Structure 1
Amino acid sequence: MANIFHDTFFAYTLRAVARTRTLAHPEEKNPSSWLDMVHAEKKQDVDVEVRAQDDVEATGSIGSAGPKPDTPMQSAYSSHSHIRLAAAKGVKYAEKANEVIVVDWYGPDDPANPQNWSRGKKLWVLFLTCLWTFTMYIGSSIYTAGIQDVAKVFHVSQVAATVGLTLFVLGYGIGPMFLSPLSEYPQVGRMPIYILTCGLFTALQVPAALATNYGALMALRFITGFIGSPILATGGATIADMYPPKKRVYGIAIWGLFAWAAPVTGPLVGGFAAHAKGWRWTIWELLWLSGFTLILLFFFYPETSSSNILYRRAARLRRITRNTCIQAQSEIDAAHMTAREVVTMMLVRPFTLNFTEPIVLLLNLYIALIYALLYCWFESFPIVFGDIYHWPEQLVGLAFLGVLFGCISVIPPYFAYLHYYQEPQYNDRGELKPEERMSGAIVGAFFIPICLFWFGWSARTSISWIMPIVGSSFFGAGGVLLFNSVLNYLTDAYPLYAASVLAGNDLIRSAFGAAFPLFAGAMYRNLGVGWASSVLGFLSCVFVPIPILLDRYGERIRMASKRARHDI
């Protein structure tokens, strides 16, 4: 547990407020221990080592003029044997004298490296990442259970009441474009962004639940979606921080399962509350869930960004040694970025990648369509199970269990496929061609239209209610397969731009998901359940060839791209 506490927000707060050495890092407990713990991984040229020694003899410290060393760490620097050790091992010198000392991992087994964490710690962090993702996604659909009550209380149409759903989804689509890139800065990291946004998200649920006019409720729905959004775009990056590509795909699959299960669970959880207490209790339920998530994140969620961990290690060594030349590679890179480059990375790159890279554009449009179909199709459930099968209002949410079953049931065979078929295809560097990810997407692409046609034409009084529920399970299975295949493909094909690509994907799919529910109810009532579902089914069929074409010709397209990876 102490290992988990080390880099949590709670530990940061405790050390800052109490100024205690509780949960101290190894170099703080024993200032010279870092020299003894490193492993010879990054040897420097002999002349660099010699220059470093000359610099120490001339100035009393490495790379900077100043007084003779007077701390244990500085004394260690004054020893030529330690200088040779440091130059040959976990701290490497720049190519020029009097420049910087670059702090790196102590060695391949450095326990601070998230890739070296124990399986239990990784699974715990994965669970908390999924829990916060689940909380954000359920925040959209849990509101739908109270839409009719919102319309009644605020004297607006049902379409106007549905805007509360669309604004929340639109908010968490736009938010990552501005907030997620902050987690890439070494001075910030991922964990503070998650906890601060979760805290604000939780706090804002109180005025949302107490809103006394329609405008205030709509504004708060958008703001809460915007504030809590970073986890939806960078959760995959957090998983990649801990797992190598061969194992990352399993973590992404679990994350994707939670992402798809949340919108399905929302109407089920909110239905009973809205029926008994009104729409406000759907927001109170969201407050309870997000508050519980915030507590767990505050006390038990460690930092996973290697650039931030090394940045803070360098900061501790600077404080101990009083040597300002000690820096992490990530902060050196960040210091050389101009304001224009920062703006480009945060605001321009996600858009340019989306519209200039054919692969990114096609896959983002496809996932956006599936996401839109999901929210649009959900609007038919009250019509099918309330109007056709005459279920009580509070029980309609139970119909979504078929989709949830599909999400869960597809995971075991998918994991078996990954373990027995895909893992042997990785090369010696643990890498796989991105196009190999499309196999799951091809299967999932066929599941979506199967679901929509089955659901639409089996939903009638002459056929048991179980049949449309069985058909709905195919959407859950297909969605999980598509979501995981596409996210892994984009991450593998654009590793240098993964954050921007995933943020753009979140924006496009959220924009589609926000728009479709506005006309879904009218479409199902005017066309009927069968033909309305068929329209969605035919639309999903149009995109079925995309994963097939990428599986066959994707490598050729990727090699022609300026930004995609070419070395695999």
Structure 2
Amino acid sequence: MATDADSTQPLLASSNDAPSYGISSSKAQDTQGHDGAVHGVVHFAPGDPEDPRNWPRWKKWLMIGPILIIDLSVSWGASGFSPASKKFAEDWGLSPEAGTLGLSLYVLGLAFGPMTFRGWRDVFWALLGINGGLWAIMTASLLFCGETRHSVILAQRAEKARKLNHTSNIDVPDHLKKRGVKELFTVTLTRPFRFLASEAIIMFAALYNGYLYGLSFLFNTAFVLVFGQGHGFDIIGVGICFLGICVGISLGPVTNIWQEKYYQRKVHESGGKNVPEARVQMGKLAAIAFPISLLWFAWTTSPSIHPLIPVLASALWGWSFYTLILMTFTYTEDSYKVYSASALAGIGLIRNLFGAAFPLFAHSMFTQLGYQWASTILAGLALVLVPIPFVWSRYGRVLREKSPWAREHMDDLDGDEGDEEAAGGEEA
């Protein structure tokens, strides 16, 4: 007869047993004394093919594909508006500020007016065809990719195990069980705002992300003024000038190879434990390059200077933009682990608010202060943010120890993850 200890034996599904949902646990005596009842908790066993981390590389890329397309669509829609905003304003008799309002509302995502098919211009039909194709690709990819959330997959596995064994004594671990709607709303959905109000790490990350994101939209207006009015470029010429930022951003993943190797080395030295502070090394260099790139751009915007010079400055800015954004994301994720979704949601809120606000004053700022001084002020504000990665590197562990949420993951092994929907955490 099985012992009481057997009643808690996990349902560990090996890779060979995974299709049967791990019905391999011993039969144990349940708490009511009925022999033959199957007890257990479902888990992913090492090498389990249903664990998304063990999926083949092609399937992982298939999941990433729709996300890349969505991100591209958002960026494309935002950046594509600015070069044509002047023409929109002229066509509709609007002020320059009102002409850029469309970009701000796009970022906020709060205004979606009814669309009228009659009288559409050719460009609108072209955009409809392109975006329709993107939606078709995303829909097809998502339909065939499957679930990736661990708690959902294990819940499905437990449900099938209960049906096959005619028992209700098989379930997921307690920390993966779904929470009630009331608790989900009062805790999980309000947590991003609590993070923004009380977590120093999130405040710094949100401020940095917001400023970087706001500048990325401000440049849409600034480039039209600097290269359009200043150098006399048409819309296509102004668009080509954005290649500098594109090149800079493209260099970010290349330099991140060194950053990742540095991080993995620190993880190895710590015995496999998570080391968020090792994520900021390249960010320190980018933090210094950030204001330098803005100053470089500021004092090379004169029409008497070859336009390639400020474009090169924008390339340096693009590299610092990518590196700093990546630094804040990875540092936040490694610090908060299971709560990182809430942390990043709070950061995303501030980021989008900044992105919506900056275009509203960009035109007035650059025309009234002049291109040089407007960009110099932006560089000065960037200079104030330089200490953030240095503070994280030196005092990050202290900040994490003071956080009730980050403190839970101080000694986690690198790669340990969780499910925030099921996580409780300390609610200070």
**How much has 1:409 moved relative to structure 2?**
1.6
Alpha-carbon shift at residue 288 of structure 1 (Å): 3.5
Q: Tell me what 1:450 maps to.
A: 292
Cα deviations by residue, 1:191-234 (Å, 9 ceiling, x for unpaired): xxxxxxxxxxxxx89x5474999xxxxxxxxxxxxxxxxxxxxx
Report the equivalent of 1:143: 81
Please say if 1:538 is aligned against 2:384. no
Q: Tell whether the 8 Å contact from 1:208 to 1:283 is kept in structure 2 after alignment.
A: no
Aligned match for 1:426, one of 267, 287, 296: 267
2:41 is aligned to: 102
Find the counterpart in structure 1 of residue 311 from structure 2.
469
Question: Which aligned pairs between 1:66-465 and structure 2 lie closer than 5 A?
Answer: 93=39, 101-105=40-44, 107-171=45-109, 207-208=114-115, 210=117, 277=122, 280=124, 283-284=127-128, 287-288=131-132, 290-329=134-173, 333-334=177-178, 337-419=179-261, 421-427=262-268, 430-465=272-307
Asked if 2 retains the 8 angstrom alpha-carbon contact of 1:148 and 1:161, the reply is: yes
Judge conservation of contact 1:102–1:327 (CA < 8 Å) in 2.
yes
- Partner secondary structure for residue 141 of structure 1: helix
Partners of 2:129 and 2:359 lie apart in 1 by 23
Quote how far apart the aligned CAs of 1:122 are: 2.3
Q: Are the counterparts in 2 of residues 451 and 475 from structure 1 also a CA contact under 8 Å?
A: yes
Question: 1:251-299 CA deviation, whole Å, 9 max, x = no partner?
Answer: xxxxxxxxxxxxxxxxxxxxxxxxx955x36853662353244244234
Q: What is the one-letter code of the residue matched to 2:391? A: L
Are the equivalent residues in 1 in contact too, given 2:22–2:42 (CA < 8 A)?
Answer: no
Residues 352 and 209 of structure 1, relative CA distance in 2, 3 Å threshold: farther
- Quote the residue 1:551 is aligned against: 393
Displacement, 1:363? 1.6
Q: In structure 1, give the amino acid aligned to 2:264.
A: E
SS of the residue 2:210 aligns to: helix
User: Equivalent residue of 2:41, what SS?
Assistant: strand
Amino acid at match of 2:283: A
Q: How far off is 1:388 after superposition?
A: 1.7
* In structure 1, distance between residues paired with 2:258 and 2:157: 40
- The residue matched to 1:445 in structure 2 has which SS? helix
Aligned counterparts of 1:466 and 1:500: Cα–Cα separation in 2: 42
Is residue 2:28 matched to residue 1:49?
yes
Query: TM-score scaled by structure 2?
Result: 0.82
Q: Name the structure 2 match of 1:222.
A: none
Q: Which residue of 2 aligns with 1:261?
A: none
Letter of the aligned partner of 2:103 in structure 1? L
Mapped partners of 1:133, 1:491: distance in 2:
19
372-381 or 429-438, which deviates more: 429-438
Higher helix share: 1
Q: CA separation in 1, counterparts of 2:327 and 2:169? A: 44
Secondary structure of the structure 2 residue equivalent to 1:516: helix
Structure 2 unmatched ranges of 5 or more: 1-14, 412-428
Q: Which residue of 2 aligns with 1:250?
A: none
CA distance in 1, matches of 2:308, 2:366: 20
| Alignment coverage as a number of residue pairs | 395
Q: 2:259 touches 2:281 (CA, 8 Å); kept in 1?
A: no
Going from structure 1 to structure 2, the CA distance change for 1:493 and 1:384 (only over 3 Å counts) comes to same
CA 1:463–1:150 in 2, change beyond 3 Å: closer, same or farther?
A: closer
1:130 is paired with a residue whose SS is helix
What secondary structure sits across from 2:288 in the alignment? helix
Partners of 1:434 and 1:286 in 2: CA distance: 40
User: Aligned in 2, Cα 1:211/1:375: closer, same or farther, shift over 3 Å?
Assistant: farther
How far apart in 1 are the matches of 2:190 and 2:215?
Answer: 28
Q: Per the alignment, in what secondary structure is the counterpart of residue 189 of structure 2? A: helix
The 1:154–1:391 alpha-carbon spacing in structure 2 relative to 1, beyond 3 Å, is closer
SS of corresponding position for 2:313 = helix
Calculate the aligned-residue CA RMSD, in Å.
Answer: 3.2
Structure 2: distance between partners of 1:164 and 1:285: 22
- Residue aligned with 2:345, SS: helix
How much has 1:381 moved relative to structure 2?
0.6
Asked if 1 retains the 8 angstrom alpha-carbon contact of 2:366 and 2:374, the reply is yes
Change (3 A) 1:290 1:562: same
Superposed CA offset, 1:447-468 (max 9, x none): 2212211112112232211111
Q: Distance in 1 between matches of 2:67 and 2:264?
A: 25
For 1:402-435, what per-residue CA distance to the aligned partner results, in whole angstroms no more than 9, with x for missing partners?
A: 000001123222213322x321211476333211
Secondary structure class of the residue paired with 2:304? coil
- 2 CA distance for matches of 1:151 and 1:209? 20
TM-aligned CA deviation for residue 133 of structure 1: 2.2
Whole-angstrom distance in 2 between the partners of 1:293 and 1:521: 37
SS in 1 for 2:233: coil
Q: Which residue of 1 aligns with 2:422?
A: none
What SS class does the counterpart of residue 459 from structure 1 fall into? coil
Q: What percent identity do the matched residue pairs reach?
A: 30
Letter in 2 for 1:35: I
Please, what TM-score do these two structures have when normalized by structure 1?
Answer: 0.63
